[in-house]
Amino acid sequence: MVKCDGLEVPVINGVDVSDMKSLIPSCLSGVVSAPLIASLDDDATPSSEPDPVIRVNVAGHLFCSRRSTLNQLPYFSAMFKWKPDTRETEMIDRDPGLFTVVLRWIRSGLPYDKFSTGLSTNDKLLLETELVFYGVAKSQ
């Protein structure tokens, strides 16, 4: 276990998450954003506004994400309005594999139509169902 902004997070496959910057290949240096690299830098100046890491339990699978990332989903922004000091969510009974894709989409910053290019029709339908649950898309 290692500390992740005050939370204990398991080391996965022997990878020490305290040195995540070393995991970014040099070939991606132009692709990975400067704010991300700065956030991984131990000497980086902390922001004036706290952006804590939140532990999200999706069907027993634990995810860590910054509050600002999760706030892009109306489901979480509503939760944080009611529980502003939340550092861990209650268990969300949804598909953790699809939650991974939802987080990947949010973090990519791409419009949904560009992000979903290449997904099968079935995968798009499953993902859109999850987005409805998290408040991003309207059901049809």
Do 54 and 35 share a structural domain?
no
Do 105 and 63 share a structural domain?
yes
Q: Which domain holds residue 112?
A: 49-140
Do 77 and 25 share a structural domain?
no
Is 69:37 a contact under the CB 8 Å cutoff? no
Do 134 and 122 share a structural domain?
yes
Do 127 and 59 share a structural domain?
yes
* CATH number of 64's domain: 3.30.710.10
pTM of this structure = 0.62
The tally of domains found in the chain comes to: 2
pLDDT in tens, the chain (140 residues): 544 545 554 544 444 444 444 444 444 344 434 444 444 444 433 443 578 999 999 999 999 999 999 999 999 999 888 888 888 888 999 999 999 999 999 999 999 889 998 899 999 999 999 999 999 976 65
Residues 6+ apart with CB under 8 A from 95: 58, 59, 126, 130
Q: Which two tokens stand for residue 111?
A: 């419009």
Do 65 and 31 share a structural domain?
no
